[in-house]
Amino acid sequence: MRIAVYPGSFDPVHYGHIDIIERASSLFDKLVVAVATNPNKKPLFTAEERVEMLQEVLKDYDNIYVEFFEGLTVNFAMKQGAQVVIRGLRAITDFENEFVFALTNKKLAPTTETVYLMTRSEYSFISSTGVKEVAYYGGNVSDMVPAVVAEKLFEKFNNSSI
């Protein structure tokens, strides 16, 4: 069985992530979307909220699972029986960090491959940070996130024009 893990903060999940998830799920028998619970980061949404939003958005896919994880991605991937770690690439600015991430993974777990999927051009501008900033100032995020996520952002920021 070909299994892949797609790790990230997903704070919150947006259409750029969802596109990568859909495409990766068609390449593997099973895809585990792994929500990082890094104690050093201060996310807007709790890990439970981030998992719930992903589960809601991905409920129609029967080979996609959403899990929490803490610690090294490659350790989590090995525990899941995954041979592959999936990441998305937006722009050249992502490359440097991702290059280091992939080489570190290779050092730690030589049998695990880190595989990159290029963003779709219409989603290349979307980031969780950008989504939160637009929502914070009451802008329309409907082209960036599903309605369920826009509602959660609205509840967090308590404004009326999202």
Residues with active-site annotation:
17, 41, 90, 128
Joined together, the tokens standing for residue 71 give: 């610690």
- Count Cβ neighbours within 10 Å for each residue of 84-101 and write b for 16 or more, e otherwise: bbbbbebeeebeeebeeb
Phi and psi at residue 116, in whole multiples of 5°? -110, 135
Residue 87 sits in the site that holds ligand ADP (CB under 6 A): yes
Residue 76 sits in the site that holds ligand ADP (CB under 6 A): no
Residue 8 sits in the site that holds ligand ADP (CB under 6 A): yes
Residue 12 sits in the site that holds ligand ADP (CB under 6 A): no
Residues 6+ apart with CB under 8 A from 63: 25, 28, 29, 30, 31
Instruction: Give the span between the Cα atoms of 55 and 47, in whole angstroms.
Output: 12
Q: Binding ligand ADP by CB under 6 A: which of 56, 67, 94, 113?
A: 94
Give whichever of 5 and 20 is closer to ligand ADP, judged by the CB atom: 20
Residue 4 sits in the site that holds ligand ADP (CB under 6 A): no
Piece of the chain touching ligand ADP by CB under 6 A; list 14-22, 51-59, 77-85, 153-161: 14-22
Find, among 122, 120, 123, 158, the residue nearest to 138 by Cα. Answer: 158
Joined together, the tokens standing for residue 26 give: 């068609």
Shortest gap between Cβ of 97 and ligand ADP (angstroms)?
8
Shortest gap between Cβ of 100 and ligand ADP (angstroms)?
12
- Count Cβ neighbours within 10 Å for each residue of 20-58 and write b for 16 or more, e otherwise: bbeebbeebebbbbbbbbeeeeebbbebebbbebbeebb
Residue 37 sits in the site that holds ligand ADP (CB under 6 A): no
Residue 90 sits in the site that holds ligand ADP (CB under 6 A): yes
Residue 20 sits in the site that holds ligand ADP (CB under 6 A): yes
| Interface residue list for ligand ADP (CB under 6 A) | 8-10, 16-17, 20, 87-88, 90, 94, 119, 123-124, 126-128
